[in-house]
Chain A
Amino acid sequence: MAGIRSKVSEKYQVQIPKGIREELRIERGDRLLFRTRGKTLVVEVEKLPRNPVTNIVGIAKGADLAELRSRAAKKLAKHKLGLK
């Protein structure tokens, strides 16, 4: 894709050109990760879930806490030490 110019504002803000927004499906609320590679600016789009709380609440509901603890301990004893 040919480069598209965008001007840096007084507050150092930059508008993402429409074509790029559409191509990468960038939406309001998405985060951008800025990095430099030599003299090149690299911008990566972080697509994050829209309703984050619903992806956390209740996902492990009904778990037996004692069993969870026991499995975590077993995992420590096996995987972490390379045992089978």
Chain B
Amino acid sequence: MRRLSISAASVLQAIADGRPYGFDIIDATGLPSGTVYPALSRLERDGYVRSSWEDTDSAHDAGRPPRRYYRVTASGRTALADAHARLQALLPARSRP
């Protein structure tokens, strides 16, 4: 399994937290769009997320075209757990939950 970079882990975490759209992820992570989108493409290439298009009708009802949304896959969850574990190991003991 490929290890996630911090930015990729943040992006994955944002999706797992229910922010499935590109610009939402940018807003949630505070990362620039030039980091988030390549990270998304890479996560998708590596099978950690899968993308689909929003339902056309509901989008049209909102007066806009359908957006692409991302979902975390099973291997994405494993990768995220691994990233969490590594992050915990890095943190000082007292800040651990």
Q: Do A and B bind each other?
A: no
Interface residues of A (CB under 8 A from B): none
Interface residues of B (CB under 8 A from A): none
